[in-house]
Chain A
Amino acid sequence: MTIREPAAPAQPNVGDGAVGDGPASAAPPARGRILYQRPTLLTERATHYCPGCGHGIIHRLIAELLEELHLAEQTIGVASVGCSVFAYDYLGVDFVESPHGRAPAVATGVRRARPEAFVFTYQGDGDLAAIGTAEIVHAAARGERISVVFVNNGIYGMTGGQMAPTTLLGQRTTSSPQGRDPGLAGYPIPITEMLAILPGVTYAARGSIAEPALIGKTKAMLKRSFETQLAGGGFSIVEVLSTCPVGWGMTPIEAMRHVAEDVPSVYPLGVLVDRRAAPGPAVNATATGG
C-alpha cells in the first residue's frame, strides 16, 4: 500500500509540523516533514479488529476528517451493534451506543436535541440493511441532518459470519452453507440506491477500501457527506465496501481482492446522488464512474 501525503495542509500542526516538541512556528529543525502519522482523534488503543478487517481504515478516515474539519469538540457519534460497536474506544469524541439497527433513530434524537452538534452514525450492513431498515428509511425520508457511515462487508461478522441481506448470491456463510440461494434467501439489497431516490437524501455515495486510490475517493465522499451536514443539508450516507476475511474464509489479501474485483459488480461504486450539486433524482452509480 502506498503512503499518501496528507492533503493540502490546512492546519500548520497537522501533517506539516516539525518533528519534535517545539511549536510549529519555532525555527524548523530541518529534519524532514511528517508524511504519515496517527490522527490525534484516533486513540492509541490496539483495536480488537481481525487482521485484514476494513474498520481500521474507515475509522482512520473519520478521525482524519473530524480533525481536518475541526469537529472534535462538537461531534456526537452513534455506535451501532456489531464489531464496530467499539468505535467509541478508538475515536476520541463523544459517543452514544444504540440498540441494534436503531442508530438513525438515536441520531435523530441527538440531532433534534442538539442542533449545533455534528452527528454521525457508524453502522454495519447487518445493522443498517436488516434489522434497522425502518429506522434508516425514515431518517432518510425526514431528511435528518445526519451523516451515516455504512460499512458493507456482506456478512454478520461479530456473531460468526452469518448471511446478511447484503450477502452476494452463491456466497457461503455459516447460515447459507450451500451458498446464498435466491429461491430461499432472496437477493442482495442495494439499500443505498433505495435511499438515494428519497428527496430527503442530500448525498448518497458508495466507496471502497480495496485500493489506496479508492480509499482516497472514499475519504472525499465522507468529506462531502460531513460538509453537507455542516452546510445545513439533509441526510447523507456513504456506503463503504469493506472486508471480513474471517467471515469470508479468506486471507486478508484474498479478501481485499474480492472486494476489489467481485463485490462492485453487485454494488457499483460512485456518487448516487448529490442534491447540493445537482438537485433532482438520483443517478445510477455506474453512470458516474467509480
Chain B
Amino acid sequence: MTRTVEPPAPAPAPAPTAPRPRLMKGNEAMADAAIEAGCDAYFGYPITPQAELLERMAKRMPELGRTFVQAESEIGAINMALGAAATGRKVLVSTSSPGMSLMAEAVSYMAGSELPMVLVNVMRGGPGLGSIGPAQSDYFQATKGHGHGDYRVPVLAPSSIAEAVALMADAFELASRYRTPVLLLADGIMGQAMEPVAPVFRTPQWDSAAWELTGAAGRLPRVVKSLHLLPEDLEIHNRHLQAKYAAIAEHESRWAGEELEDAELVVVAYGTAARVARTAIERARAGGLKTGLFRPVTLWPFPSRALAEATAHARAVLVLELSAGQMVEDVRLALDRTPVFFHGRTGGMVPTPTDVVDRLRVAWALTARLP
C-alpha cells in the first residue's frame, strides 16, 4: 500500500510500535500480540471459534524460530505448556469453552506449581458441546476456579481487538510478576470479528531465572511441583498462594467507565456485551435516560470497590451478559443497596440494544421514588 499524498502538516512521528490502522481479526490480533510480547512457545488444539489463533501461530512461530505444537488434545496442549513454562519460557495456549474444561486440571497444577502462562478462552455457547456462537457463560469457570483446589487466576476481558492486543502484553507481565497462569477471556465475536486496529504492541519484562529448570549446572537441582504431602507443608504453601492472590486483588483490579458522572442508571457489562451496552446507552440518553457504563476489565479480581463508588448515586444497575447470569452475582455482592437488574441471552444469541433500552426503562420505572 502506497500513499501518494502526504498530509501537509505531519503529525508527531508515531512510535515505531504503532503502525497505521489495519483490518485485523481478533484471533489473529491476539496471536500477533503474543508474538510481539515475546511468546516463546505456543501449544493448541483446533476448536471453533479460536482456530485462527492456532493457525496464525502455526504460520508465524516457526518463521521466528519459536515453538509451535498442535497437540493431540487440549489436555496434551496445556501439559506441554506446563513443561515449557517450567523451563522459564513465555508460553501461550488458546482454546474455547469445552477445551477450557479439559485444561482445568493442568491449570490447577500450574497454579500450585506457580508457573506463569497466558491462556486464551474464546468462549462459545454451552453447556456441553453447546454451539459455536459467542457466549460469556464461562464466567464462573474463569473467575471461581477452573480446576480443583484453592487457587485464583487473574482474568482479563477485552472489549475490543485493540484492547485484546494491549491486554495480551499485560497478561504476560502479570504472569511473570506473580508467577501465575493468566486468563484472557474473550468470546466468539471478539475472536471472529474484524475491525481496524492500530495495534500497540509491547514486550513486557520477564524474569524466570530464579526458578526455571535448565539442568542443574552450577547450582543445586530444582523441583517444580505442586505436591506437598504433609498437611502442615501444604497449608504453608497455600498461605503463600493466598497472600499472592490478596496482593493481586489489591493492586490489579481494572475497570473502565463511560458517562458515569451524571448517570442515574448504570449498565455493568464486559467484552462484547459492553459494546452492545454502549449503543444502548447512546439511545437511552437520546431518550432522556441518564445512563452510563461500568466495564470490568479484570473479572478476577473483580473491581467491587470501584463499582460501589461508581454507582453510589445511581438509581439502579443493569447487568448485561451473554449468559444466564453469572457476573451479576459479583455485582450483587459488591452493592448493598442499589437495585440490580439483569438481562442476558444465551446459547450464542446476543442481546440487542433495543432489548437493553427496554430493560433500562423497566428498571427506571420500577425504581421510581414515590412522591
Contact = CB atoms under 8 A, between A and B. Distances in A.
Given A74-B217, A94-B216, A96-B213, A109 B83 contact: yes
A138 B221 contact: no
Given A76-B215, A93-B215, A108 B83 contact: yes
Contacts of B106: 99, 102
Contacts, number: 137
B89 interface: yes
B215 A98 contact: no
Interface stretch (A30-38, A111-119, A160-168, A261-269): A111-119
A191 to B, nearest CB: 16
A98 B216 contact: no
B215 A112 contact: no
Nearest to A138: B72
A96 B224 contact: yes
Given A109-B43, A109-B84, A109-B85, A114 B223 contact: no
A184 to B, nearest CB: 27
A94 B222 contact: yes
Contacts of B82: 96, 98-99, 102, 105-106, 109
B365 to A, nearest CB: 53
Interface string A160-202: 0000000000000000000000000000000000000000000
Contact of A97 (B215, B216, B227): B227
B113 interface: yes
Contact of A134 (B75, B86, B224): B75
B354 to A, nearest CB: 47
| Residue with the greatest number of chain B CB neighbours at <10 A, chosen from A85, A94, A111, A117 | A94
Interface string B50-83: 0000000000000000010101110111011111
Secondary structure type dominating chain B contacts: mixed
A96 B225 contact: yes
A78 interface: yes
A75 interface: yes
Nearest to B82: A106
Given A112-B69, A134-B72, A106 B80 contact: yes
A75 B216 CA distance: 7
A15 B215 CA distance: 24
A110 B84 contact: yes
B140 to A, nearest CB: 23
B225 A134 contact: no
A92 interface: yes
Given A98-B79, A105-B71, A112 B41 contact: yes
A76 B87 contact: yes
Contacts of B69: 108-109, 112
B109 interface: yes
26 contacts: A74-B217, A76-B213, A78-B83, A88-B225, A93-B221, A94-B214, A95-B224, A96-B82, A97-B227, A99-B109, A102-B75, A105-B77, A105-B82, A106-B79, A106-B83, A106-B86, A108-B80, A109-B43, A109-B79, A109-B85, A112-B69, A113-B83, A113-B89, A118-B215, A137-B72, A138-B76
Interface of B: 40-41, 43, 67, 69, 71-73, 75-77, 79-87, 89, 91, 105-106, 109, 113, 213-218, 221-227
